[in-house]
Structure 1
């Protein structure tokens, strides 16, 4: 019964509403921002290079970037890419790329809005995200409450079960570990970090994420170099399959354009989170450099690029260059088998270790997203956090031993509902976001260091928390 309901919701959300909604919104934001993900790509890299400066009341932009990457880079990049290829063929990879490019503009909008409407909690830490801009920007607190509940279910509970499930699957496949022991160890390690709250999550992410991402990219480059002569054929296979030009021949499987689009967009969004409103929760916690909401928008835009265009493509290259385009086994096993075929048996151990790090950091970062929304529901009071942390750890334990299909399908439903609510808010607030971003760009063009002055935006009067954005005086916060 549960699986029937979940399947119906998935078909409705991903077969109709979100596939068209996310693509349409991404195109709309891309045009309104003047193709910012292409024309301002270099500026985004520049901001990322100076993002380590710590803020007075928030995390550094680099800590926030690493925390959002910790959430993005996980099961979706490894098992999820494999699932998409297995379900819909190599063409799914192209649609992952497409939704990532469009999603970069969407991420720019939502993270800029998160910064504009951020608040301070009792400890002076910045908090914010879609729930806050729904309440303050749209005046719709009920909408913020609905989003918070969906995000807590999605990230705090279901997604963490998915990540734990992926870790257990990898450890069982490679080392034949008993899932219950894997579950206990993951739960204990997760508890050690999340009990320290947002700042501890950020510190751990800042250390682990760059190392694990670079190691994974390096092994993918090795695989590409080993199979360099096959690369053009694999690239053409992706393009042909994406548009239904790939015929079933020689035992290969032909897939429809609709299959490739649905799988690629769903798995791409699961991985890079653009439009879901999730990364915006941590984006609001930064003291950006320069001190303007749009500068954090650029940082999060680059996060989408590195997650999908770089890391998901690394997984796709490993799988497709192995010749296993039709897929064998579940997502984890498919990725492990593919790397084993390239480098030998140690490839499986490498993937298992990479999954352990990728998915563990996703668990703690997902928790940080949910924590901000628990704070929103409780009026920025921390009394509910200890109980919530125990519930999260219970879901981690459950996820490591759950059936893979129902967990992935529940993740898709909860993610889709969350994205739907957030996209409505983004479209309604997009005019303000575009003006804020253009304000930043005009100051850069004039050779100034951008500073956010709320007085330029009369509609913000009475909507912002005092003392956070104070025009030129904001330069004093270093």
Structure 2
């Protein structure tokens, strides 16, 4: 397998080098200007919309909130804990700033992805909604071959980044923290995965609507406790993040390029803006306008990076252990630095919940890519194989899978970004529609109140 690993590694060096990262962030910047900084203007409205009552008469399978939670289930994962740590280790504290930078423009990218996903979604044989890059590449851009490529990469990537590596992370942390044998953990998470995903998107939506908020709140609250208890250290840590972002002093030789590269790369891995995965969940939402669900989807990046990753990043910088500690355990050690042994347990539980939620979310992404290539009647076979793979991922460690997963994620991004740029005019049109609709709703509300 040595030569295969070398090939995969070489491909990843090219895929996740400056060109693709520039293309991902550049697309976000381009879309931000085209939609006139909608991520700033309508963020409060978007957050309110995500938690408001849904229009049950609109077409779709799940609510705005359930679609958001399904997407968050897939993106709020090990990247929020391990990914942030690796960014700081390789790029220094300044990498956190560049994660924020990528996320800000990534909100516009995520918004555009969801607009197009809902705009070009179709009903499958069971009457359920199917959408995502493969559909807007085929029906919007009129380039079916790009849609086929995306679907192949997505259906395969789901077994890597969305399954094997996640179940392995769970079994590993359960074994190291609580001495639970990997095979026992494998059986447990396989059963729980089967109970959720074999029921399809409605089952996934119901579970994630309850599970994800609890999961995220648990980690955020624990992180905020550390920040509040050590409030005197927060200003200096944030200040260091900003100054190091433009000096790279924490990196050997002051390599500012290294700081930017690792910050942007890990930011993209965390929130997945530009990869094309999350719009698959957005396409299932009940909504009367594409941009309405897109505004909700946009908040995913805000929650994932601006809130969850920020707590991890600031805590790591405050602990000041990134210079000597160069392992994935940096986040755990940083939490333990402030909370003692309970800190490591918090991170272990966080990894367990985050990784499991990623399995659930990516199972849906993978099956939708699979059914784009095959008949909907075959979807149960995909689900069964996906569930079985969870157990093998927990028992057999294979670092090679990480490399393949990274490669497939990068390959997913290329056709998706082509679609976003090529269909940006559609995004602008739908943005104008939703803004006019919001103005009309406010006008009617004011008239109703005054009368």
Match of 1:199 in 2: 202
Out of 395, 404, 412, the position equivalent to 1:418 is 412
1:388-445 CA deviation, whole Å, 9 max, x = no partner?
A: 1233234323333455643333222111110111000111111111111112112322
Pairing of 1:222-233 with structure 2 (within 5 A): 222-233=225-236
- Counterpart CA distance in 2 for 1:328 and 1:161 is 26
**TM superposition score normalised by structure 2:** 0.93
SS of 2:186's equivalent in the other structure is: helix
Is the counterpart of residue 311 in structure 1 residue 313 in structure 2?
no
Aligned counterpart for 2:74 among listed residues 71, 76, 97: 71
> Once the two structures are superposed, what CA deviation does each residue of 1:86-139 show, in whole Å capped at 9, x if it has no partner?
222212111111110000000111100101111112222211111111111122
- Map of 2:107 onto structure 1: 104
Does residue 1:349 correspond to 2:370, yes or no? no
In the superposition, relative to structure 1, how do residues 247 and 200 fare at CA in structure 2: closer, same or farther (>3 Å)? closer
Structure 2: tracts of 5 or more residues without a match: 445-451
Q: Which residue pairs with 1:30 in the alignment?
A: 32
Larger CA deviation: 426-435 vs 150-159:
150-159
Cα distance per residue 1:281-318 (max 9 Å; x no partner)? 01000112xx1110011001111100011001111122
Distance 2:59 2:4 in 1: 48
- Partner in structure 2 of residue 297 of structure 1: 294
Matched residue, 2:403: 409
Q: Which deviates further from its counterpart, 409-418 or 128-137?
A: 409-418
Per-residue CA shift, 1:161-201, capped at 9, x if unaligned? 22112212321221133223222222222122111111111
What pairs with 1:10-49 in structure 2 (closer than 5 Å)?
A: 10-49=12-51
Task: Quote the offset at 1:337 in angstroms.
Answer: 1.4
Structure 1 unaligned blocks of 5 or more = 451-478
In structure 2, distance between residues paired with 1:158 and 1:327: 28
In structure 1, the residue matched to 2:269 is 270
User: Match for residue 395 of structure 1?
Assistant: 389
* C-alpha contact (below 8 Å) 1:88/1:255 kept by paired residues: no
Q: Which moved more, 1:107-116 or 1:84-93?
A: 84-93
Shift in alpha-carbon separation, 1:132–1:172, aligned structure 2, 3 A:
same
- Identify the residue that residue 367 of structure 2 maps to in structure 1: 371
The Cα RMSD (Å) is 2.0
- 1:321 alignment partner, SS class: helix
Per the alignment, residue 209 of structure 1 pairs with 212
2:11 to 9, 14, 21: 9
Shift of 1:154: 1.4
**Using a 3 Å threshold, how does the CA distance of structure 1 residues 132 and 313 change in structure 2: closer, same or farther?**
same
Tell me if the contact between 2:103 and 2:271 (Cα under 8 Å) persists in the aligned partners: yes
Q: Matched residues in 2 for 1:121 and 1:156: separation?
A: 23
TM-score (norm 1): 0.88
Residue in structure 2 matching 1:325, options 322, 325, 332: 322
In structure 2, the CA distance between the partners of 1:241 and 1:254, relative to structure 1 (3 Å rule), is farther
Greater Cα offset, 176-185 or 261-270? 176-185
C-alpha distance in structure 2 between counterparts of 1:47 and 1:385, whole Å: 32
By how many angstroms is 1:360 displaced? 0.7
In 2, the alpha carbon distance for the partners of 1:183 and 1:9 equals: 31
Quote how far apart the aligned CAs of 1:48 are: 1.6
Aligned-partner Cα distance in 2 for 1:449–1:136 = 35
Check the 8 A contact 1:108/1:301 in 2, yes or no: yes
Q: How does 1:273-292 map to 2 (within 5 A)?
A: 273-288=272-287, 291-292=288-289
Q: In structure 2, what is the equivalent of residue 462 of structure 1?
A: none
2:437 maps to which residue?
Answer: 443
Q: Which moves more between the two structures, 16-25 or 279-288? A: 16-25
* Structure 2 residue aligned with 1:258: 257
TM-fit CA distance, 1:52: 4.5
In 2 relative to 1, CA 78–255 (structure 1 residues): closer, same or farther, beyond 3 Å? farther
Q: 1:428 aligns with which of 419, 422, 426?
A: 422
Structure-1 residue corresponding to 2:448: none
Aligned to 1:152: 155
- 8 Å CA contact 2:171–2:394 kept in 1: the answer is yes
- Give the structure with the higher percent helix: 2
Q: Any idea what SS the aligned residue of 1:229 has?
A: coil
**Would you say the 8 A contact 2:147–2:415 is kept in 1?**
no
Seen in structure 2, the aligned counterparts of structure 1 residues 129 and 327 have a Cα distance that, compared at 3 Å, is: farther
Stretch moving more, 129-138 or 189-198: 189-198
For 2:303 and 2:189, locate their aligned partners in 1 and report how far apart those are by CA, in whole Å: 26
